[in-house]
Amino acid sequence: MSMIIRPAVAEDLPAVGEVDSRACQRAYAGLWPAAELAGYTPDNQARGWADRRAREADSHHLLVAEDGGRVLGFTYVGPGLPGQDPDLGDLYSLFVDPDAQSAGIGRALLVAGQAVLTELGYARHLLWVAEANTGAVRFYERHGWRHDGVRHTAKGIEYLRYLYTP
């Protein structure tokens, strides 16, 4: 594998939408309502990423993992939400194509996303993960992220806040 991590370009968005759709279908089956998951199509997700990038281009970064021209995963990082501690940068998304998991792609994307947040001057990083997504919980804990006890519920799903200090 000759994978590289690089900033996404507009031509990557269909592939990002495909990875996002496939990864969400796998990760959230049984957690999210089926009707909601049905809306996570590659086209819908690609359009969503195009809209979000257009709105947040000045402050957020979409990185992709690519091998041989094929996007295998992505991460999206940027400043935290308004009203949040200004020292906290946010890792909003990290998804790897289900067929490419367990090959080090997630770790490479995590390291790259954390590096961007650190370069942007964020002293600490945060992310939210569904408590029932035990694979993701284990992944982040294995890489030094710690649940700080904060949780919130959205659409009936319990989410945990994880922090990382570089």
pLDDT tens-digit map of 129-162: 999 999 999 999 999 999 999 999 988 889 999 9
DSSP assignment of 113-142 equals HHHHHHHTT-SEEEEEEETT-HHHHHHHHH
Residue type, 142: R
pLDDT tens-digit map of 35-59: 888 999 999 999 999 999 999 999 9
What is the mean pLDDT of the segment spanning 3-24? Answer: 97
Residues facing 158 on adjacent strands: 153
What per-residue confidence (pLDDT) applies to 110?
A: 98
**What pTM value is reported for the model?**
0.94
What per-residue confidence (pLDDT) applies to 1?
A: 62
What whole-number distance in Å separates Cα of residue 112 and Cα of residue 133?
Answer: 22
7, burial (CB in 10 Å: exposed 0-12, middle 13-18, buried 19+): exposed
